[in-house]
C-alpha cells in the first residue's frame, strides 16, 4: 500500500472519522466500523483531507480534468478543499461546482448549482465522502449531465467499504456499470484492515467481527 494511503488511514483514526465498535448504519446493517467525513472540522484537518484527495485523484486521473463536483452537502467542502490542494500540490487550477438541495430563484447566482458553472466540454471528477447506496449519484449525475455537454471522468471517494450495494456488487461497481464512468477510492477497507492489523490496532476479536460482517455483506469482486 502506498505511503500516503497509510498516512490517510492514520489520519482517519486521529480525526475520529473512522471508528470501530458496534454501529447501526442507515441501511439497518450492524457494522463493526463506521466512517463519518463530518468529523473533519478544523482548518488543519480540512487542509490535509484536501491533500489526500488531490493525491489520489492525481494518481488516478493525472491532470485530465477541469472541474471537481461535490454533491450537497458533505461533498461541498470536500470539493472546495481538494481544488485548493490541487492548486498547491500540482500548480493546476481546477474549478469546483456543487448542487443545491433547493434551487435558488433570486439574486445574481440563481439556479441549481454553487461555484463554477458547468460548460460544454468540461471534464468532471465527482467527489464525495463514502458511497454505500449510490443514492447521491442517482440525484446528481442527471443534474451534471443536464447542465452542459460534459464528460464525467470518474468518481473519487475516501473509503471503499467493499460491501454489497443494491446487488451483489459494491456500490462503486454499481455506479460504474450504471453510469459508465470510472470509480475509485483513496483507500479500500481491506487495505485498512491489513494495515491496522499489522499495527495491532485491530486485534483478533475485532478482526473476527469484521470478517463475519463481510461474510454477510461483502461485495463480489
Catalytic residue among 104, 117, 166, 212: 104
Q: Is residue 164 marked as binding?
A: no
Q: Is residue 153 marked as binding?
A: no
- Under DSSP, the state recorded for 200 is T
Q: Is residue 221 marked as binding?
A: no
Establish whether 58 is a catalytic residue.
no
Q: Is residue 131 marked as binding?
A: yes
Q: Is residue 191 marked as binding?
A: no
Catalytic residue among 6, 30, 58, 106: 106
Q: How far apart are CA 179 and CA 105, in angstroms?
A: 30
96 in Cβ contact with 79 (< 8 Å): yes
Closest CA to 104 of 119, 96, 95, 115: 115
Q: Which residue, chain included where needed, has cell 480534468?
A: 65
Q: Is residue 26 marked as binding?
A: yes
Q: How far apart are CA 21 and CA 74, in angstroms?
A: 23
Q: Is residue 132 marked as binding?
A: yes
Establish whether 104 is a catalytic residue.
yes
Q: Is residue 74 marked as binding?
A: yes
Q: Is residue 157 marked as binding?
A: no
Q: How far apart are CA 215 and CA 220, in angstroms?
A: 11
Cell of 133: 447506496
Q: Is residue 195 marked as binding?
A: no
Query: The dihedral of CA 164, 168, 172, 175: what is its sign?
Result: negative
Q: How far apart are CA 34 and CA 36, in angstroms?
A: 7
Mark the binding-site residues, compressed into ranges. 26, 73-74, 100-101, 104, 106, 128-136, 161
Q: Which residues are catalytic?
A: 104, 106
> Binding site for orotate: residue ranges?
132, 161
Known binding-site positions for 5-phospho-alpha-D-ribose 1-diphosphate: 26, 73-74, 100-101, 104, 106, 128-136
Amino acid at each position: 500500500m502506498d505511503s500516503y494511503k497509510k498516512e490517510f488511514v492514520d489520519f482517519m483514526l486521529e480525526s475520529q472519522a473512522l471508528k470501530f465498535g458496534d454501529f447501526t448504519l442507515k441501511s439497518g446493517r450492524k457494522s463493526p466500523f463506521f466512517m463519518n467525513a463530518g468529523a473533519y472540522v478544523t482548518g488543519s484537518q480540512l487542509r490535509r483531507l484536501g491533500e489526500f484527495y488531490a493525491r489520489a485523484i492525481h494518481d488516478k486521473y493525472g491532470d485530465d480534468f477541469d472541474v471537481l463536483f461535490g454533491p450537497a452537502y458533505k461533498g461541498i467542502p470536500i470539493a472546495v478543499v481538494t481544488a485548493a490542494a490541487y492548486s498547491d500540490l500540482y500548480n493546476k487550477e481546477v474549478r469546483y461546482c456543487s448542487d443545491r438541495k433547493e434551487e435558488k430563484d433570486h439574486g445574481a447566482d440563481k439556479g441549481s448549482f454553487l461555484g463554477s458553472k458547468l460548460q460544454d466540454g468540461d471534464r468532471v471528477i465527482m467527489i464525495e465522502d463514502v458511497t454505500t447506496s449510490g443514492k447521491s449519484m442517482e440525484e446528481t449525475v442527471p443534474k451534471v449531465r443536464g447542465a452542459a455537454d460534459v464528460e464525467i471522468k470518474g468518481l473519487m471517494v475516501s473509503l471503499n467499504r467493499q460491501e454489497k450495494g443494491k446487488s451483489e456488487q459494491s456500490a462503486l461497481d454499481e455506479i460504474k456499470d450504471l453510469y459508465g464512468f470510472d470509480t475509485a477510492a483513496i483507500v479500500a477497507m481491506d487495505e485498512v484492515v491489513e494495515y491496522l492489523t499489522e499495527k495491532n490496532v485491530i486485534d483478533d476479536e475485532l478482526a473476527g467481527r469484521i470478517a463475519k460482517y463481510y461474510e454477510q455483506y461483502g461485495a463480489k469482486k
